[in-house]
Amino acid sequence: MSKSSGPSYYLVLDQGTSSTKVFLFDENLNIPFKDHIKHKLERPADHQVQSDALEIVRACKELTKKALNYTQHVGGDISSAGLAVQRSTFLFWDKRTKKPLTAAISWQDDRSQDIVAGLANESDKIFNITGMPLSPHFGGAKFLHFTRNDPILKKSVLTQKTCFGPLSTFLTHYLTNTLGIDYSIACRTQLLDLNNLKWSSDLCKLFHFPDKSLLPLYNNVQSFGKMRLDTMAIPLNVVIGDQQAALLGQSGWDSGSVALNFGTSGSVCVNTGKNAVIIPNLLSSVLTADQEKMIFMLEGTINACNSLFYWLEKELNIDHKDMVWHERCMDESTNGIFIPGVTGIAAPYWKSGLGMVKIGLENAKKDEIIRAAMESIGFLVHDIIKQMDLKEALPDMLTASGGCARAPLLQFIADMLMIPVGHISLKDRTAIGVLQLLHKKNTGTYLAVGMDCDKIFEPKMSKVTREKKLKHWQHALAQVGI
């Protein structure tokens, strides 16, 4: 868009599981404007979680328009835009009209369990090529499930009239007319060979994905075209996965950097530098790629964080305004175990179809159940980091961000890991990660971002209590076949 004499801003869209956020940043990390729009998550049947892709497009456009109106009001302009997106949500859409042909099938959706079960003998091969465990959450299984069950959709794909890809690709196609998939999210298709960063013909055959339907691969930082609204055109120069952006937003630029992020879902992310590190039951992917270099990331994902407490609102008949889970479980204690498997357990166990399992909570009051649910997140963080086997590489203190990074959870994680956990005071780390990439592309340098913690949680649980709790957790997992 044309330059003005007023202030210049970077625009960041953070498209998450349940809402889309917009931010305007200036050169000093100030946020003069931000807004958000929530969207519905539909659960039409067991194991099915989806949303309306057009509703999300409309939110992106409406929020961008509001940001433009703000800049015009203050006499400024937007130099460029970036987009962070939930990663394992996929859909089919018409290549010409861009009309969605299916709902946006959420990363939480595991209706393709049948495909995963049928490919069980190929799981090691898939993991060795992609760095991703075979799971119904990823693109390959979703694609094969839908095309097997919808002959018309399958025919449309074969005639190259229909696109299949992640939500990020649909959004960039719709907003800029650019059809391509960035490396950080391409890993989630389970069709990318992480060893050579090219599409795998073997995996395309395995998931019956036609070679001619493969999308061009894009760096995370490059031109994705221009987002056009009315007479304005904003260059879209960054598209990246949300958890990758969150790690960068916690200053995770150096190899060995570790960050915890807790939102609707959660993640433990490690920057592994120029080489992909593949460890069983964890996820290896591209952290970020530009014209100069490619950096990789090792990750353990937790499917249920804030979404776990949304589920408990209905299960325990608690109004949303009264849930306030972090207050309810702050001074609560429990010996019971809650296994959050309604959307499956991801790292490091990869088990689908569990549902929510309560052990030793038969006569528990509501707040005790909430406490046990919160502790399940901490147990999974412990198990993921144990699987990562960081040893001497584990930092003296871990940092955490995200809306679910509340005091009782961070204290419990500190107790389980026996190291301090700090809560980063600066909010919106996912958006800041995108901002950093935009600023680097524009100026050649990164912004200096504070990593100050407003609270540090020191381990305080006794060794005996800790070991007892971990033993109960592992026993409970064994009871459900994990």
pLDDT in tens, 31-48: 999 999 999 999 999 889
Predicted confidence at residue 247, as pLDDT, reads: 93
Average pLDDT over residues 144-173: 96
Predicted confidence at residue 389, as pLDDT, reads: 86
Q: What is the pLDDT of residues 99-132, one digit of tens each?
A: 999 999 999 898 999 999 999 999 999 999 999 9
Predicted confidence at residue 67, as pLDDT, reads: 96
The rounded distance, in Å, linking the Cα atoms of 355 and 336 is 17
Predicted confidence at residue 5, as pLDDT, reads: 64
The rounded distance, in Å, linking the Cα atoms of 244 and 86 is 10
Instruction: Classify 19 as helix, strand or coil.
Output: strand
Average pLDDT over residues 2-19: 85
Q: What are residue 299's phi and psi, to 5 degrees?
A: -145, 145
Average pLDDT over residues 250-263: 91
Average pLDDT over residues 5-18: 91
Residue with tokens 């861009």: 98
Residue 2 has pLDDT above 60, yes or no: no
Residue 3 has pLDDT above 90, yes or no: no
Q: What are the structure tokens assigned to 176, written together?
A: 């800029």
Residue 447 has pLDDT above 90, yes or no: no
**CA-based diameter of the chain, in Å?**
66
Predicted confidence at residue 4, as pLDDT, reads: 58
- Tell me which DSSP letter residue 356 carries: E
Q: Please provide the DSSP assignment of 222-256 as one string.
A: S---EEEETTEEEEEEEEEEHHHHHHHHTTTTSTT
The rounded distance, in Å, linking the Cα atoms of 147 and 125 is 23
Contacts 24+ apart (CB under 8 A), 354-357: 354/480, 356/311, 356/315, 357/476, 357/480
Measured CA angle at 350 (ends 131, 281), to 5 deg: 35
Average pLDDT over residues 153-160: 94
Predicted confidence at residue 427, as pLDDT, reads: 85
Beta strands across the sheet bearing 77-85 = 33-38, 19-25, 8-15, 77-85, 232-241, 226-229
Predicted confidence at residue 231, as pLDDT, reads: 80
The count of C-alpha atoms lying within 13 angstroms of the C-alpha of 328, restricted to the half-sphere facing its C-beta, is: 22
Residue 451 has pLDDT above 80, yes or no: no
160 class by beta-carbon count within 10 Å (0-12 exposed, 13-18 middle, 19+ buried): exposed
Rounded to two decimals, the pTM is: 0.92
Q: What is the pLDDT of residues 261-302, one digit of tens each?
A: 998 889 999 999 999 999 999 999 999 999 889 999 999 999
- Given pLDDT bands bounded at 50, 70 and 90, which one contains residue 1? very low
- Given pLDDT bands bounded at 50, 70 and 90, which one contains residue 392? low
Q: Which structural domains are found in the chain, ordered by start?
A: 8-238 (3.30.420.40)
Q: What is the mean pLDDT of the chain?
A: 94
